[in-house]
Amino acid sequence: MAGLGCPAHAQQQPKTKPNVLFIAVDDLRTELGCYGDRHIKSPNIDRLARQGMTFNRAYCQQAVCSPSRTSLLTGARPDSTKVWDLETHFRPALPNIATLPQHFKNNGYFVQGMGKIYHGGFDDPPSWSTPWQSARAATYANPLPLAAAQKAAPSGGKKSRRKNGPAYEAADVADNFYTDGRTAEMATAALRELSRKSEPFFLAVGFLKPHLPFVSPKRYWDLYDPARIELASNPYPPKDAPEYALTTSGELRNYVGMPAEGPIPNDLARTLKHGYYASISYTDAQIGKLLDELDRLDLRKNTIVILWGDHGWKLGEHGQWCKHSNVENDTNAPLLLSAPAMKHAGTRTDALVEFVDIYPTLADLAGLSLPEHLEGNSFKPVVENPKRKWKRAAFSQYPRPRLMGYSMRTVRYRFTAWLDRADPSRVDAVELYDHQADPQENVNIAKQPAHAQLVKGLLAQLRQGWRGVRTELASSAAR
């Protein structure tokens, strides 16, 4: 069995290499039982947390699906992949790069992917040993609201803001009526096949929920009492933040029944949160099926299991919904890791880690070499010692017209500088939030004279960026 401290020569034997179960969850925020939110029914994710390590401060590189997933899977940041939107593939910018699954394939693993791993319709055939698979299912059990929305859409080529159906649904159907239930069935079947292979496996499984629309079987809705669902305590934008720091929740407003503008009424907001929570519990149940099958096949003792949400999500915080910004609600995302012979199972760490670090960490844990192109750092030392002093900062970014917002999360602060994309030396605005005094990021203190020197120092640190952090880590390791 491969342990974290096994010698390199032992890991060259195929049967001693750990398998990898790589679980992606779309739009999952850190509101889970294992993160201290006991009102959420997530028993299977919580079970994985008890068997592994929970990262309290894990940050994506850009809080929207494709850029985040691309950075994680390539080990390169958005400015290197040139993926800042949902339409661009990374191969034109990085034609010869070995992705995370491809690197495992190149090192003797059988690599299989299914569900949402890369964004939407994108795939990357070089990543897989066998063609990527996608389960197909109806979006809604009740097609009538969708049909009504489509019928009401304006004609004559005008784009409709009602192109999607309802934002939520609770239907009395089986788990496998929807896509995620079928993906779980496909994945458990794959585990059975993979367990019979002589080579180690890397199985990537992507679940869609709790991404909009919030549809799930009714029994998951029944887990929650709507009267006990609390609304966001800060339904307003941060004071003194630039107007463009947030968006107008356009992704949600594209669904029938959602206001085209203005605040979401409280009753509707509570129903939306109910749907989001139910979707979490639905996907949690599908994750449980994978973990159960691992145990049944006696694979757990030699399998690395990693679960991540591609970014956070706002549920009314700052008066907004969805992602698409640099705020803590959007950039902080769930990350759980269980590895063979893990010494600190069931622990949580406050170490700052980034999703771009996942590629080198998994390769490191499996005893594989690290490609030179990687722009993250293996946090294997944190897995071995969750209290270890680690990165001073994690970096995210989000574009706006003509600007790029570069955001840096330190142990205490979130600092964001909005730079002119044509002339990055020009700073259009800055944001500074003190998480010790203001963990919800409700007041931008960057313009307050008392913080002038702090802003100057953080801006210099931000401009030095991840390369400065890497230098610091290398220096620390050498001592």
E-state strands within 324-368: 335-338, 347-349, 353-354
Give catalytic status of residue 322 as yes or no.
no
Give the CA dihedral 282, 285, 289, 292, nearest 10 degrees: 170
Catalytic residue among 34, 60, 119, 324: 119
- Read off the tokens for 243: 């107007």
Helix, coil or strand: residue 35:
helix
321 CB-near residues (< 8 Å, 6+ apart): 249, 251, 252, 264, 272, 313, 314, 315
Question: What string of DSSP letters covers 53-93?
Answer: EEETTEE-SSSSHHHHHHHHHHT--HHHHT--SSS--STTT
Number of CB atoms found within 10 A of residue 437's CB: 9
Whole-number Å distance between alpha carbons of 418 and 407: 9
State the virtual CA torsion across 217, 223, 228, 232 in degrees, nearest 10.
Answer: -60
| CA–CA gap between residue 225 and residue 221 (Å, rounded) | 8
Would you call 119 a catalytic residue per the annotation?
Answer: yes
Tokens of 32: 């889970």
- Which residue out of 34, 60, 65, 322 is catalytically annotated? 65
Give the residue numbers marked as catalytic. 65, 119
